Structure 1
């Protein structure tokens, strides 16, 4: 591309120089020739006027008197007076000459000649000046073409490298601009694409991390349930455990669907009114075997027959994350207490362990923040799930640890589309 830009610019400059240069040479050559002819004519008229004036006054006219009247040494003048011998001034030039003959009032004639070689030399000097100007123009055009080629080609090369980087999986936007509107537009599009790709990659990584964490808990509980089925010979107990296992599989399916939904739009909740006691009961049944194996107990207390608004599967996963967190990091008996505050139902999960380390504090809900050897995403995912349906998850007390899940008790009221500003406001809680 650089070579094409340089060649095209140079070709345009050469055409312009050829057209205007030839025209200028022709005009200048004619101007110089006409000027030389005018000089010769002026000289002849001047000499004839001098001769005529001296003849009129009766003064002597000869070569000695007129020898200093020729302005240029290269010129040659011949004065012819009737009845007298011709008077020659200067040396007669050889070769082609420019001449003019002027006639006086008394019949005298003055012929002035100038060698054409002087005109040729002056034309040559003019051509040399024009050639030097053309050469400077060509050099300036080449430098300008190189500068423009670099200004256009370098950004294109840079943009190609950016696109290649995006294709290789490096979605970092460069935010680099080049001062050319068209190239800056391409850079804007590439940066926008890089940001979208980065968001998609982040969402995919987050989905993978959330899935690995959220699926591990129900799969572990399901595995323990199946182990209990294999260890019993009582058909009634097998049927009961199998029914519970099927319920766990359904909730596992709900977890997967919920994770996929949140990966597309975390605000896209499917909140409904549900029986909070039923969700707590399910969690107690799923986690009792694990706590029994660890020599610990899990119990529930508080207000009963509460109706909350949310996604039952999401609420179950939030509680499962808190229960698992207590199993891994807490100690003693884990208690799930329900209460009502204002228009919200609250589920508190607490245990008798040492609680949240002081250095973690409110950062406990940040991703990658963990008190021990764990992934550090369980509480972060739990908070996202709670907020997706309009609830919230908070740490109410650090030691002993108390986590509270706040859920609305009345359905969400969505604003009617097409308000005064033509937008659809976010859901609000009455």
Structure 2
């Protein structure tokens, strides 16, 4: 591309120089020739006037007197009737420019100038025009190279940016070139890079969230299946199978919730549900793990609280808090329910050392963990709570207390009694 730009620019300049240069040479040649002819004619008229003045004054006219009146390099001859002609200067050979005029005394004055003088003057003019044309060509080449670099370099950068996007590097370059068309392409590429970056981040986040959220249900399901394989009691096998099917349904709900939250975090299907059912289900699921660790998990507080939300999402939030207490806490884990205004609150606390002071409110940030864990469990739990219309907060650091705030359903209004007299 750079070569084509230089060649096209140079071709245009050469065409312009050829057209205008030829016209200029033609005009200058004619101008110089006409000017030389005028000078010769003027010289002849001037000599004739000088001769007329001396003849009419009855003065002697000779070549020595007229020698200083003729410009060097020219030849003049004055012819008188009945007299020998007077010659001034050397008679030129070859082609000449001449002018003849007749004086009042009857004399004829002829002035000649060699055409070679005009040719030399035209040659000098042509050299000047050729020099200017050469300078114009050099300037055009330099300008074409600069312009080609200005256009080709940004295109090379844009091609490299597109190649980086294709190789999975979505970082925008935010580089502009001062050319509106190229800057527009750069804007589009930067916006595409940002969109691709957001999409890749969302995909990585979905993969991390899925691996974290599915780990516990899959572990519980595998434990139930192991119980089925180890028992010979048909009744026990059926009970374990029923529990396994329930866990499969919860696993499906977890996957569906993750996919829905990845598409649009604000999407929810809030319904009125009993918080006790979700709490009892979570305690039943986590009690074997706590018993293996020599710890207990209990519930207390206000019973039969109704809340607005998605039971599956609330169960995932509580599961994240219970798992966090199992991994990082100590002692008995308690789930307490209470009412604050028009909100139902589920608190999860344990008897462990609590949240380190250097973490503080950053405990909900992704990759933030004080015990070499993934650091995404609490972040996912907060996202799920907010997507479900609630919120998750750390109410106390030591001992740790986390609170899940959910909206309560509005009480039903009694039907209004009809006003006015009753017609019987």
- Name the TM-score, length of structure 2 as normaliser: 0.95
Q: Could you say which residue in structure 1 is the equivalent of 2:241?
A: 242
How far did residue 60 of structure 1 move?
1.4
Q: Could you say which residue in structure 1 is the equivalent of 2:30?
A: 30
Q: What whole-Å deviation, never above 9, does each CA across 1:89-116 have from its counterpart, x for those lacking one?
A: 1110111100010111121110000000
Alignment gaps of 5+ in structure 1: 412-430
Q: Could you say which residue in structure 2 is the equivalent of 1:61?
A: 61
Q: Could you say which residue in structure 1 is the equivalent of 2:4?
A: 4
Q: Could you say which residue in structure 2 is the equivalent of 1:380?
A: 379
Q: Could you say which residue in structure 1 is the equivalent of 2:414?
A: none
Q: What whole-Å deviation, never above 9, does each CA across 1:324-356 have from its counterpart, x for those lacking one?
A: 011111111111100010111100001111111
1:263 equivalenced with 2:275 (yes/no): no
Kindly report which structure 2 residues correspond to 1:181-330, keeping only aligned pairs within 5 A, or say none: 181-330=180-329
Q: Secondary structure at the match of 1:356?
A: coil
- 1:231 and 1:284 mapped to 2: Cα distance? 24
Q: Could you say which residue in structure 1 is the equivalent of 2:156?
A: 157
- 2:271 and 2:132 mapped to 1: Cα distance? 86
- 1:399 and 1:134 mapped to 2: Cα distance? 88
- 2:212 and 2:185 mapped to 1: Cα distance? 40
Q: Secondary structure at the match of 1:69?
A: coil
- 2:240 and 2:286 mapped to 1: Cα distance? 13
Q: Greater shift after overlay, 52-61 or 157-166? A: 52-61
Contact 1:80 1:86 (8 Å CA) reproduced: yes
How far did residue 47 of structure 1 move?
0.4
Q: What whole-Å deviation, never above 9, does each CA across 1:241-269 have from its counterpart, x for those lacking one?
A: 32222111111101101111111111222
How far did residue 21 of structure 1 move?
0.5
Alignment gaps of 5+ in structure 2: 411-424
- 1:170 and 1:134 mapped to 2: Cα distance? 50
How far did residue 231 of structure 1 move?
4.2
- 1:175 and 1:185 mapped to 2: Cα distance? 11
- 1:229 and 1:54 mapped to 2: Cα distance? 150
Contact 1:224 1:289 (8 Å CA) reproduced: no
- 1:265 and 1:29 mapped to 2: Cα distance? 82
Q: Secondary structure at the match of 1:98?
A: strand
How far did residue 233 of structure 1 move?
4.0
1:247 and 1:228, CA in 2 relative to 1: closer, same or farther beyond 3 A? same
How far did residue 37 of structure 1 move?
0.2
- 1:108 and 1:93 mapped to 2: Cα distance? 22
- Name the TM-score, length of structure 1 as normaliser: 0.93
Q: Could you say which residue in structure 2 is the equivalent of 1:331?
A: 330
- 2:246 and 2:274 mapped to 1: Cα distance? 16
Q: Secondary structure at the match of 1:197?
A: helix
Q: What whole-Å deviation, never above 9, does each CA across 1:274-329 have from its counterpart, x for those lacking one?
A: 22111111111111111111121111111111111111111100000000011111
Q: What whole-Å deviation, never above 9, does each CA across 1:365-393 have from its counterpart, x for those lacking one?
A: 11111121311100000000001122110
Aligned length: 410
Kindly report which structure 2 residues correspond to 1:344-423, keeping only aligned pairs within 5 A, or say none: 344-410=343-409
* RMSD between aligned residues: 1.2
Q: Could you say which residue in structure 1 is the equivalent of 2:52?
A: 52
Q: Secondary structure at the match of 1:278?
A: helix
